[in-house]
Amino acid sequence: MRILLMRKHARSNPRNFMMGLLLLCLISACAPAAAGTPENPSALDTHGPGAAQISGLWWLMLGIGVVIFAAVVVLLVMALLRKRRSTVYTPAERDSDTGRSWVIWGGIIMPLGVLAILFVFTLHTLAAITDPVDTPLSVQVVGRQWWWEVNYQQQGIATANELHIPVGVPVQLSLESGDVNHSFWVPQLHGKMDLIPGRTNTLTIKADDPGVYRGECAEFCGLQHAHMGFVVVAESQADFDQWVVGQQKPATAPTDDAVQRGEQVFLSAGCSFCHTVRGLDDSSVDVGKVDLGPDLTHLESRLMIAGATLTNNVGNLAGWVVGAQHIKPGSLMPNINLPADDLQALLAYLESLH
């Protein structure tokens, strides 16, 4: 149910239209500079036991690999540069069996030994990261083209593109897909797990340090696979509990006129057909069935928007509303053309959704 509403007086009132256009240009110019938080999602900068174990295995394999490669290169260079003693072939050189011991020792025995060691460490690491642990917290993550629906079912929270977890607590993620294959990957915390329609995969993640960790979708899922990021916010238990309480509340009722007007714009522009705002009275929509777009009840509490593509600030939000197809062409969010006054009101409303 995608409704693109063109406000009639955007056409008939050129001044408002031009103001809106100017705003769009300014926002688009700022958007690239404001996009993204400077977090390096490095698999070697580990902040969780899963990633740490894997990183340990990596350094071992790298060490062994470098030694083997260096040995091969040294042997190669020596073979190229060594002086052959005479100009006449020796019978040994003419024999195809000469040098067989190289092949047996270097090609069979050495790899067998190295691979046996690596396999043992692999199993050890695999066991360490997949051992069942008590997971006091469960989160359901549903991958959709091209955003992440995040549901804390026990707590009754729905959000999008952002997970909050308490530091030091294992969290079980139930990974499902609403359309095509996706993959949930937070390199700093753990390896990835695919989201496959028809299956529920589980991944247990834990953060050892507080911080904001960037995640990416790691399975090609169509046009905007590149813009399907998310963030995992690891915080103290107290902060996490406070966050949960805040998320459980319905949307705060509008307190001033601008926000009230914005709520009207939200309804009349058709936003509620795709986006749920719990507490907003919209009798035209069956809230339980709306899952085309992220839940916006607490939009302002989030760090980023548009699949962790843009920092959540008013400029980017305006650009996203008016020109989503410019930022993420092909996504399900259409360009919502609004006159400048309506846009400002809508932004005021969205900003009130703490």
Partner 1 sequence: MATLPSVHEWNESLDRIWQAPVGIIGWLSAVNHKIIGRRYIATALGFFLLAGVAALLMRIQLAFPQNTFVNAEQYNQLFTTHGISMMFLFAVPIMEGIGLYLVPLMIGTRDVAFPKLNALGYYLFAISGILIWLTLFFGTAPDAGWFAYAPLTETRFSPAYGVDVFATLIEFTEIAALIPAAEIIVTVLRFRAPGMSINRIPLFVWAMLVTAFMMIFAMPSIIVASTELSLERTISTQFFNANLGGNPLLWQHLFWFFGHPEVYIIFIPALGMVSEVLATFARRPVTGYPLLVVSLVAIGMISFGLWVHHMFTTGLPILGLSLFTIASMVIAIPSGIQIFSVLATLWHGRLNLKTPLLYVIGFVVNFVIGGISGVMVASVPFDWQAQDSYFVVAHLHYVLIGGAVFPLLAGLYYWFPKITGKMLNDRLGKWNFWLVFIGFNVTFFPMHISGLLGMPRRVYTYLPGLGWDLWNLISTIGAFILAIGVLLFVINVIRSLRTGEPAGENPWNAGTLEWATTSPPPVYNFEPLPRLAAATPCGRIRKAHTSSRSRSTGVKHWGQVRSMRSRKCAFHCRGIRLFRF
Name which of residues 136 to 175 contact partner 1 (CB under 8 A): 145, 175
Which tokens sit at 226?
């590149």
Q: By CB under 8 A, is residue 301 in contact with partner 1?
A: no
Q: Scanning residues 59 to 118, which ones bind partner 1 (CB under 8 A)?
A: 61-62, 65, 68-69, 72-73, 75-76, 78-80, 82, 84, 87-89, 92-100, 102-108, 110-112, 115, 118
DSSP 32: H
Cα–Cα distance measured from residue 159 to residue 275, given in angstroms and rounded to the nearest whole number: 11
> Rounded to the nearest whole angstrom, what is the least distance from the CB of residue 151 to partner 1 in the complex?
19
Q: Are 267 and 248 in contact (CB under 8 A)?
A: no
Cα–Cα distance measured from residue 73 to residue 207, given in angstroms and rounded to the nearest whole number: 41
> Rounded to the nearest whole angstrom, what is the least distance from the CB of residue 135 to partner 1 in the complex?
17
198, 281, 284, 289: which one contacts partner 1 (CB under 8 A)? 198
> Rounded to the nearest whole angstrom, what is the least distance from the CB of residue 296 to partner 1 in the complex?
23
Cα–Cα distance measured from residue 228 to residue 177, given in angstroms and rounded to the nearest whole number: 14
Among 309, 278, 32, 346, residue whose Cα is nearest residue 147 = 309
Cα–Cα distance measured from residue 148 to residue 183, given in angstroms and rounded to the nearest whole number: 11
24, 137, 221, 317: which one contacts partner 1 (CB under 8 A)? 221
Stretch that binds partner 1, among 134-142, 160-168, 198-206, 346-354 (CB under 8 A): 198-206
Q: Which residue, 24 or 129, has its beta carbon nearer to partner 1?
A: 129
* Total Cβ atoms within 10 A of residue 251: 19
Cα–Cα distance measured from residue 92 to residue 103, given in angstroms and rounded to the nearest whole number: 16
10, 19, 30, 218: which one contacts partner 1 (CB under 8 A)? 218
Q: Which residue, 72 or 245, has its beta carbon nearer to partner 1?
A: 72
| Cα pseudo-dihedral 125, 130, 134, 140, rounded to 10 | 130
63, 156, 246, 329: which one contacts partner 1 (CB under 8 A)? 329
> Rounded to the nearest whole angstrom, what is the least distance from the CB of residue 207 to partner 1 in the complex?
16
* Total Cβ atoms within 10 A of residue 170: 19
5, 29, 119, 136: which one contacts partner 1 (CB under 8 A)? 119
Q: Which residue, 27 or 347, has its beta carbon nearer to partner 1?
A: 27
> Rounded to the nearest whole angstrom, what is the least distance from the CB of residue 129 to partner 1 in the complex?
6
Q: By CB under 8 A, is residue 287 in contact with partner 1?
A: no
Among 231, 264, 103, 261, residue whose Cα is nearest residue 165 = 231
